[in-house]
Amino acid sequence: MDAAGQRWYKDALLYEVSVRAFADSNGDGIGDFRGLTRRLDYLEGLGASAVWLLPFQQSPWRDDGYDITDHYAVDPSVGDLGDFVRFVEQAHDRGLRVLIDLVLNHTSNEHPWFQAARAGDERFRDYYVWSDTRPPDAEKGIVFPGVQKTTWSYDRAAKQWYFHRFYEFQPDLNIANPVVRDEMEKIIGFWLNLGISGFRVDAVPFLIEPVSAANTAPGPEFDWLHTFRSYITWRAGDAVLLGEANVERDQVQDYFGVGGMHMLFNFEANQQLWLALAREEAAPLVEALRDTAGIPGADQWGTFLRNNDELDLGRLSDEDRRLVFKRFGPSKRMQLYDRGIRRRLAPMLGGDRRLLELAFAVLLALPGTPVVFYGDEIGMGDDLSLRERDAVRTPMQWSSGPNGGFSSAPRSHLVLPPISRGAFSYRRVNVAEQHRDPSSFLHFVRRAIRARRELRALGIGDWEAVRVHDPAVLALRYHVEDQELLAVHNLSSARVRVRGLDADGLTDAFANREYAAASRSVELDGYGFRWLQNVAAGY
Ligand code: MG
């Protein structure tokens, strides 16, 4: 097996950011690359090792940039290619890598390819998927139930039906067409040459599944995924593919391995983590971790608490989903597509500092590479008056000044309004104040990330879930080289004394507070946690 530590992405912390919502440098109300570049010191101080940028390419922004009209251009609202390259350079100067979203499953319907295709240009017709008649399965496989009504729409200019897995303004590219695959390689090579370290690949299962109107298409084209990966490895040996593939447990292996993704988001662990928090029982999460263990040595899970989408609970049983809804998203307006919660971390946890610290500790202690969604490190809130997933995409809250320090533009010009009312208003929750206050949540998160970095066993070590008597306790034991680590977390509000853990000779490396030395039993506050390591590897 490879020396695991040499794979940068196995020992990393990713920070997910929307350029448009982060920092506006020119006062037009839209976050931009210059603004983001100025905030790189903040990301370095947080302890991030890579920044994952949500789409920023030229787009009419009908689906938050996932509807691209030019894959080679930076949208003018966020800057130009020069600004992008300078951002990458400055990130590299701070040891930060850059990952970008790769959206190849579809384009915007305003993309010149689609416009040429519908106008009858033969060269581009086959870039998309067409049908003379409305396919009988047009209502199957809808991604956004309630918002989207069909996956085939009629185009009057083309006089044909076209396929769109997502919204009707996002026609799917025809991956069965070798010319389209060649276009995709060109796009990948272009961005790699600008110095990025990899891609978050949008909608992988759809990307590799050819579609035809007759529904005679074969299954997923893993061969093509292999070609795709070897092309990337050839162009940039240490570049990584982080896939969004919300597939069933038994399909996961197909997406990993020498020909697949280097990393996949662990949706299974994410949903079971929320169920575990709702039940105050570690079992669902432990089972998910065991079920998703055993991936190839060079590969890695991406773990997360929340992201820019709704919290998808589609894998849970109806009963379990109801329980998570009841605890973390009880009202209808907090829910989305009948299976998700469109809230941010801090409001879901009721702003309870103990629970917030516990959630971050669990995230950082899970096997995998943690991905932190911008703003969650200061406990930002959501705005349920905004449509769908915009609720969790409000601007970063930098200070108690106008617009939370995000932009000097009038509020009506902002990309989205910053949260200005209630317990999560930027007047109460912002970077500047938490930066000044050593007891703030931001400082806790910084310490936790630093602790994780120093404890190399987390992330790259071999691990096992330790069986303990108390159902509320999540205990993970790691080891790498001479370092041994025991990470113990109490998911319940009741104080516990955990017996049966072999904690002799282990000392606290990081915990929610100072505890008396652990021995045969490990004491934990309600929602408390302790990361213990063997003295030989400590200081
Ligand atoms: Mg701007």
State the chain's mean pLDDT as an integer: 92
The rounded percent of the chain whose pLDDT value lies above 90 is 76
CA 396 – ligand 1 centroid, Å? 13
Here the tokens at position 307 are 């992201």
Taking residues 179-203, what's their average pLDDT? 94
Ligand 1 centre and the CA of 89: distance in Å?
A: 20
Q: What's the 406 CA to ligand 1 centre distance in angstroms? A: 10
* Residue 18: closest CA among 1, 41, 35: 35
Distance 39 CA to ligand 1 centre (A): 14
Is the pLDDT reported for residue 219 higher than 80?
no
Question: What is the Cα–Cα distance from 202 to 19, expressed in whole angstroms?
Answer: 17
Contact 365, 490 (CB under 8 A): no
**Of 2-16, 276-290, 470-484, which one has max mean pLDDT?**
276-290
Read off the pTM: 0.95
408 C-alpha to center of ligand 1: Å?
Answer: 10
Task: Take residue 420 and report the two structure tokens written for it.
Answer: 């200005």
The residue type found at 177 is N
Q: What is the mean pLDDT of residues 242-249?
A: 84
Residue 97 CA to ligand 1 centre (angstroms): 23
Asked if 268 and 292 touch (Cβ cutoff 8 Å), the reply is yes
Give the model's pLDDT for residue 127. Answer: 96
Mean pLDDT computed over 108-126: 96
Query: How far does residue 34's CA lie from ligand 1's centre (Å)?
Result: 8
Res 208: pLDDT: 81
- Residue 135 confidence (pLDDT) above 90: no
Alpha carbon distance 303, 469 (integer Å): 26
Q: How far is the CA of 67 from the centre of ligand 1 (A)?
A: 20
**And the tokens for 397?**
């809250």
* Residues 6+ positions from 233 with CB-CB distance below 8 Å: 239
pLDDT at 5: 45
3-state secondary structure of 479: strand
Give the span between the Cα atoms of 454 and 484, in whole angstroms. 13
What's the 340 CA to ligand 1 centre distance in angstroms? 31
Residues annotated catalytic, as ranges: 202, 244
Q: Taking 80 as the threshold, does the pLDDT of residue 211 lie above it?
A: no
Q: Would you tell me the crossing angle of helices 267-279 and 318-328 to the nearest 10 degrees?
A: 70
